[in-house]
Structures are given as C-alpha cells and as structure tokens.
C-alpha cells in the first residue's frame, strides 16, 4: 500500500494538503469580504479559459465505446479531451488512433498514463502518440522518478506533463531545472493552495512554461482553478471533470462550478469569492473516514 500511495500521490505530506485547503478558504473569505470574485482579487479578468474534458473518465473501454463517449463531450462544446492510457501500449495506441480517426485534427487529444508506464512502454508509445498529434503524455512515471523522465524526454518530441503530485514551488524548481517536464500541472488542493500555485506560475513564467492545473475531485477546486487561470499570464487548459456520479462536484456545493461554451471555453464565476457555497448537510451525511483517500 505504501508503494502504491507513493507512486500515485508523490512525496507530499498531509500537512501540505491541509495548508492548501486553509489557504484556499482564506482567499475565498477575503474576496467575499470585498464583495468581488476571486479572479479580480488575484488581478485577473473575466477572460475565456480553454477547457478539456478530463477527470476520471475516457478510459479503458473498447475503441468504439471510447469514441462514443468522446463524441458526447465534443458535441457539448469541448475542443480537447484527455484519454486515460496505461492499460497496455497496444490497447492504448489503438484507442488514441480511433479517437483521432473519428474526430480529425481539430480535436486536441491529451493522454494520461497515471504512472503506469515503464521506460520500455514509453519508448514504444511516445513516437506513435506524437504521430497522432497528441498534445502531451501525462505522468508516465511516478512523480519522484526524475531519472525516468530525463531518459524518456529523448524518445520523441512529445511533451511530458506532470505536477499534480509535486508539492510547493521547491519541488517545481527541480522539475523545471531538470527540463524534462515542460507541461506543469500544479493542483491548488495539493501544492500549497492558491498562494503557492501563484508562486509556481511565476517561476514557470520565467522559463516560458505553461500552467495547466490538475483539478482534484471537488467543485471548489474546479471553480478556484478557473479563477487562478484567469489571473496568470502563462495559463493553459482548465481540466473540466466530466466523470460520472462525482458527488463532490455535483452535490458538495449548491452551484455549478463551471460551464463550457460552444467554443470549448469556460469563464470564472462572478459571485463573490470562489463563487460557491458548501452544502453543510452533504458534509454531515458524508463524514471523513480514516484511511488512504484520493480526495
């Protein structure tokens, strides 16, 4: 269990996650006290933020079923999707090829291996993913496996993405200095909150690297991430969670955390603060239980 948690969630401690939540709450309180949306407090504007259909979805089904699932999101406005890979390289490539064939070059396809690849897998998959015009390969290896990232960057032109399991600007400093990972994905709920994510973004901007934040499972994180992206100069994609039956997105708060327009963009909420109000009855009905957890 320890090794699996280390591979999936990186070297960060519980304290960093706790600080992230406290920090986000303080930003929300301050913006609400001023009666303004968070993006304005952060110095941003209500600008369109490109979004991709992601979250725990678009996974290991048969290619035809995957195409059908992707079509739902494309028809709802998305111009980018992220596919779950890390099954077998052969199956992964067949699924990516099917989606590319169905939707053509106008759809931005991103991939996430969830730390499931070996160097051999990456060596085989990366050139083919690149030939299909994939935008990035996310977390082929555990966050702490810097050696594998350095080795894999030589396999093709395909950018490597990571960051959801890197904590604070100090870990991102090493990621950036190594030069292997060029798509940076800090998570506001894990890396140290909005304050620390702003520092990571500023650090990345000096290297002309984009920020595509990973969004955890909650509506609060999702809405806050859009505010954050509307306030930084090197903003990339917003990860729009399109998974099924995510109660932390749909019932934790009273409002909808984001909406996607026909062009595949979203905008920050206009209500004061993050723009959401937590449903206290939902929290009471779903108390925290002891043990490893994703959320």
Query: What mean pLDDT comes out for the span 151-155?
Result: 98
Please answer whether residues 279 and 251 qualify as being in contact, where contact means their C-beta atoms are separated by less than 8 angstroms.
yes
Percentage of the chain modeled with pLDDT above 70: 94
For the CA atoms of the chain, what is the radius of gyration?
18
Torsion sign over Cα 249, 116, 236, 63: negative
Please state the pTM of the whole predicted model. 0.94
Q: What is the mean pLDDT of residues 45-74?
A: 93
CA distance 229 to 233: 8
Rounded Cα distance, 16 and 12, in Å: 7
For the chain, the structural domain boundaries read: 16-285
Q: What is the pLDDT of residue 293?
A: 60
12: pLDDT strictly greater than 70: no
* Contact of 124 with 95, CB cutoff 8 Å: no
Residue 260 CA to residue 119 CA, distance in Å, equals 36
Compute the distance between CA of residue 132 and CA of residue 108 in angstroms, rounded to an integer: 10
Question: For residues 244 and 91, what is the distance between their CA atoms, to the nearest angstrom?
Answer: 23
Six token digits for residue 250:
């749909």
Under CATH, domain 16-285 is a member of which superfamily? Enolase-like C-terminal domain (3.20.20.120)
Span 70-78, mean pLDDT?
97
DSSP 56: S
pLDDT in tens, 185-214: 999 999 999 999 999 999 999 999 999 999
Instruction: Return the structure tokens found at 284.
Output: 């009471």
């Amino acid at each position: 269990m320890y090794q699996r948690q280390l591979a999936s969630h990186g070297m960060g401690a519980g304290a960093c996650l706790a600080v992230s939540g406290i920090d986000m709450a303080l930003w929300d309180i301050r913006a609400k006290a001023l009666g303004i949306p968070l993006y304005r407090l952060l110095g941003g504007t209500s600008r369109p933020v490109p979004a991709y259909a992601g979250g725990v979805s678009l996974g290991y089904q048969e290619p035809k079923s995957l195409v059908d699932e992707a079509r739902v999101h494309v028809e709802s406005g998305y111009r980018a999707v992220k596919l779950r890979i890390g099954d077998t390289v052969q199956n992964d490539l067949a699924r990516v090829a099917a989606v590319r064939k169905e939707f053509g070059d106008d759809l931005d396809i991103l991939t996430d291996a969830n730390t499931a690849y070996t160097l051999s897998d990456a060596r085989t998959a990366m050139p083919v993913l690149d030939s299909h015009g994939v935008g990035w390969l996310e977390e082929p290896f555990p966050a702490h496996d810097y050696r594998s990232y350095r080795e894999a960057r030589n396999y093709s032109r395909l950018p490597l993405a990571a960051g959801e399991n890197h904590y604070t600007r100090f870990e991102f400093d090493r990621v950036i200095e190594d030069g292997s990972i060029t798509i940076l994905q800090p998570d506001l709920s894990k890396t140290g909150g909005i304050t620390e994510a702003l520092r990571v973004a500023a650090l990345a901007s000096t290297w002309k690297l984009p920020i595509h934040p990973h969004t955890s499972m909650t509506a609060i994180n999702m809405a806050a991430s859009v505010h954050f992206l509307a306030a930084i100069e090197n903003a990339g994609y917003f990860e729009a969670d399109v998974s099924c039956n995510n109660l932390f997105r749909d019932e934790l708060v009273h409002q909808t955390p984001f909406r996607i327009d026909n062009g595949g963009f979203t905008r920050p909420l206009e209500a004061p603060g993050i723009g959401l109000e937590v449903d206290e009855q939902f929290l009471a009905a779903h108390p925290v239980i002891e043990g490893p957890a994703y959320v």
